[in-house]
Amino acid sequence: MPPRETGAGLVDELIRERWDYFSGVPCSLLKGAFSRLENLAADEPASYLPAPREEVAVAAAAGAYLAGRNPVVLMQNSGLGYCLNTLTSLLLIYRIPLVLIISWRGHGADAVEHVVIGEAIPRLLDDVHIAHRVMDDVHGAVSWSTAKATETRRPVAILVKEAI
Amino acid sequence: MNEASPARVLAELVRALPDALFVSTCGYLSRDLQQVGDGPNFFYLVGSMGAALPVGLALARCAQRERVVVIDGDGSFLMGMNCLPLVGAQAPANLVHVVMDNGMHESTGGQQTAGNACRGVTAAMSAGGYPHALLVEDVADPVVREALGKPGPTGIHLPIAPREAIAPRIAPEPEELVRRTRKLIANNRSNHPGEVGP
Ligand SMILES: Cc1ncc(C[n+]2csc(CCOP(=O)(O)OP(=O)(O)O)c2C)c(N)n1
């Protein structure tokens, strides 16, 4: 089990790496990260947009990038289904760098609604050419995504398997 | 009712707000906009139907010096409606949301949209928290210019006629659309420093 403050640490590390525009739809596994985002101080160099659907978060990320911001979107893997088209027909072809933080429900035994997507998620990301890796340590995952997203100007994904 | 052609409506909107950034939905509306006179202040979506509003919302919030105009069709509006309360809550004063309503998905062959659901466009915008939402038959009506002069988010629902001709596809590559709009915004910002971000 990662320590309870990992979620906040992840957001801090992303902000340190100049990711400054956050949006997403919550997942219980990402509770700590969302709690940090909901409590961003006014003088921090980052903002958070609570989205009603994952494709809204991903589209907002594109709009923020046009304005010179560096976007991050957090979601449950179920939400990848909702936003897949926004990724394939907007961010991927317009070459917009984005860090996706995706909780990986259903990678093992889990509630039935997570089983199908949980099994498919790495393949699904591979199929649309979104580089991904499981978050082992926060620092490693963030510096990998920063380098990869910047270098390829594409979305990249960090998969989170445990509550952070 | 004597509805105007989309080309005329778009030309009128661009004339009213020549310096605004326009974000247009996929299909024929983006193509019509390109015909008005392509430039870096036009950001066309070639796909991602329903995404023009959230793109425009984030753009308006992150570039508060710019005026942002979202161009939706009625089909695209219905797809992206979940975003209305978010727009109301974020309340970007610099955002205008235009719904050009022909009662159909004309880009894919004219299939009808959700019946008469679009009668409720301005009601939905108001319920979402837009301070101004108006239905206007004619884009040249002075109420349009008056509404554009007020702090938004402002919603404008405009009935339009079916197209007589289909405009050519978007010419610039998607990457180029991003590059040029980012550059325009960055230049505008460095010419007017001191912008505060949300
Ligand atoms: C998710 C998705 N579904 C369907 C389409 C196909 N499509 C492209 S444009 C369009 C119709 C858009 O209708 P509307 O916004 O009313 O504009 P109009 O074509 O009437 O100008 C559709 C259904 C698409 N691009 N994306």
DSSP summary character for residue B195:
P
CA atoms of A59 and A94, how far apart (whole Å)? 12
Digit-coded pLDDT (tens) for A134-149: 999 999 999 999 999 9
How many domains does one find in chain A?
1
Task: Please give, rounded to a whole number of angstroms, the shortest distance from the CA of A109 to a CA of chain B.
Answer: 33
* Inside any domain, residue A2: no
Whether the predicted pLDDT of A2 surpasses 90: no
Q: Tell me if B51 and A94 make a contact (CB, 8 A cut-off).
A: no
* Inside any domain, residue A124: yes
Beta strand extents in chain B (DSSP E only): 21-24, 42-44, 68-73, 95-101, 104-105, 111-112, 132-135, 154-159
pLDDT for A72:
99
* Pair B68, B92: CB distance under 8 Å: yes
* Pair A105, A118: CB distance under 8 Å: yes
CATH code of residue A71:
3.40.50.970
CA atoms of A126 and A132, how far apart (whole Å)? 8
**Chain A: residue nearest B175 by CA?**
A94
Whether the predicted pLDDT of A4 surpasses 90: no
DSSP summary character for residue B120:
G
* Inside any domain, residue A153: yes
* Inside any domain, residue A53: yes
Structural domain harbouring A151: 7-160
Cβ-based burial of B15 (10 A; exposed 0-12, middle 13-18, buried ≥19) = exposed
pLDDT for B117:
62
Q: What is the mean pLDDT of chain A?
A: 96
Mean pLDDT of A4-10: 90
pLDDT digit string (tens) for chain B, length 198 residues = 568 999 999 999 999 999 999 999 999 999 999 999 999 999 999 999 999 999 999 999 999 999 999 999 999 999 999 999 999 999 999 999 999 999 999 999 999 998 766 679 999 999 999 999 999 999 999 999 999 999 999 999 999 999 999 999 999 999 999 999 999 999 999 988 766 555
Helix, coil or strand: residue A17: coil
Helices A78-86/A115-127 angle, 10° precision: 30
pLDDT for B183:
98
Residues of A in contact with B184 (CB under 8 A): none
Which ipTM was obtained for this model?
0.96
**For the CA of B32, the nearest atom of ligand 1:** 21
* Inside any domain, residue A25: yes
Encoded amino acid at A103, one letter: S
Whether the predicted pLDDT of A151 surpasses 90: yes
* Pair A96, A65: CB distance under 8 Å: yes
β pairing state of B68-73 and A71-76: unpaired
Cβ-based burial of A74 (10 A; exposed 0-12, middle 13-18, buried ≥19) = buried
- Quote the ligand 1 centre to B53 CA distance (angstroms): 14
* Inside any domain, residue A58: yes
CA angle A95, A99, A100 (to 5 degrees): 110
Closest residue (by CA) to atom 24 of ligand 1?
B49
* Inside any domain, residue A56: yes
Q: Tell me if A90 and B51 make a contact (CB, 8 A cut-off).
A: yes
Digit-coded pLDDT (tens) for A44-64: 999 999 999 999 999 999 999
Q: Tell me if B54 and A94 make a contact (CB, 8 A cut-off).
A: no
CA atoms of B31 and B38, how far apart (whole Å)? 10
- Quote the ligand 1 centre to B58 CA distance (angstroms): 22
Q: Tell me if A56 and B61 make a contact (CB, 8 A cut-off).
A: no
CA atoms of B37 and A143, how far apart (whole Å)? 42
**Chain A: residue nearest B23 by CA?**
A63
* Inside any domain, residue A35: yes
pLDDT for B119:
75
